[in-house]
Amino acid sequence: MTRLNGKTAVITGGATGIGLAAAKRFIEEGAFVFIFGRRQDALDAAVAELGPNARAVKGSVSEQSDLDRLYAAVKAERGTLDIVFANAGAGNQLPLGKITAEHIDEIFDTNVKGLIFTVQKALPLMGPGASIILTGSSAGTTGAPAFSVYSASKAAVRNLARTWAQDLKGTGIRVNVLSPGPTATELAKAALGEEGMKVFASMNPLERMADPAEIAAAAVFLASQDSSFMTASEVAVDGGLAQI
């Protein structure tokens, strides 16, 4: 369990859900992790759980000055950066006909613009062998009622990996997409309720929702040299939802 020994990682949206599960696995594999999120109480609780190899920086990916503070903290304590897991995301449902400019801005400011600057601002600290992981979604491939804006944002993420892999030629930095399906995070449980969870669980061939730790296992693979010949790729951890 030392695939990330000595590595430094940043995980946005790292205080809860998939981000927190990934932070746990990265640390178990030997990494030093900076988690980034908007809620100080959640960050404090996460660091208390993660232990001495974790740091927390409060901020939003939609605010470039917050990202500057994040990477200044990384540079000051660690000097360089090996892994960026651009995991922060936002999304809610609105059907065509009710979509507003505010709805579009909220989702795209986080899922696309925020993700772009999360990666761009990390690059000066990264070098050969580094790994960038973008959180996509099965929604980026499939269609679902009232999810058009969120789905479009995740389709954009998929294409960013394809184009950035070419922009990063010669650097030795890899970029891939990790696309979960329905995942039993605390946020999902609160939003969907018990009946909603059952509906989402029934939508894929495995007939259940993912545990965040299952998504984290795939994140470790993409962060490590086990995936050293992968870039511009998408790893779907979705119970087959978007594959059939």
- For this structure, is 71 an active site residue? no
* Mean pLDDT over the full length of the chain: 96
10, 70 Cβ separation under 8 angstroms? yes
Per-residue pLDDT at 170: 98
| Given the residues 150, 169, 189, 198, the one annotated as active site | 150
Q: Which tokens hold the place of 182?
A: 């329905």
Q: Which tokens hold the place of 127?
A: 């070098």
157 class by beta-carbon count within 10 Å (0-12 exposed, 13-18 middle, 19+ buried): buried
Overall size of the chain counted in residues: 244
- Is the predicted pLDDT of residue 191 greater than 80, yes or no? no
Domain borders along the chain are 8-237
| Given the residues 58, 154, 189, 198, the one annotated as active site | 154
Q: Which tokens hold the place of 17?
A: 């859900």
- C-alpha pair distances (Å), 193 with each of 34, 56, 90, 95: 31, 30, 19, 21
Q: For the structural domain made of 8-237, what CATH number should be given? A: 3.40.50.720
- For this structure, is 150 an active site residue? yes
165, 172 Cβ separation under 8 angstroms? no
Task: State the Cα–Cα distance between residues 89 and 73, nearest whole angstrom.
Answer: 22
pLDDT tens digits for range 34-89: 999 999 999 999 999 999 999 999 999 999 999 999 999 999 999 999 999 999 99
SS (H, E, C) the chain: CCCCCCCEEEEECCCCHHHHHHHHHHHHCCCEEEEEECCHHHHHHHHHHHCCCEEEEECCCCCHHHHHHHHHHHHHHCCCCCEEEECCCCCCCCCCCCCCHHHHHHHHHHHHHHHHHHHHHHHHHCCCCCEEEEECCHHHCCCCCCCHHHHHHHHHHHHHHHHHHHHCCCCCCEEEEEEECCECCHHHHHHHHHHHHHHHHCCCCCCCCECHHHHHHHHHHHHCHHHCCCCCCEEEECCCCCCC
Task: State the Cα–Cα distance between residues 74 and 78, nearest whole angstrom.
Answer: 6
Average pLDDT over residues 188-196: 81
Of the chain, the percentage scoring pLDDT greater than 90 comes to 88
Strand partners, 234: 177
Per-residue pLDDT at 1: 75
The conformation of residue 12, written as its DSSP 8-state character, comes to: E
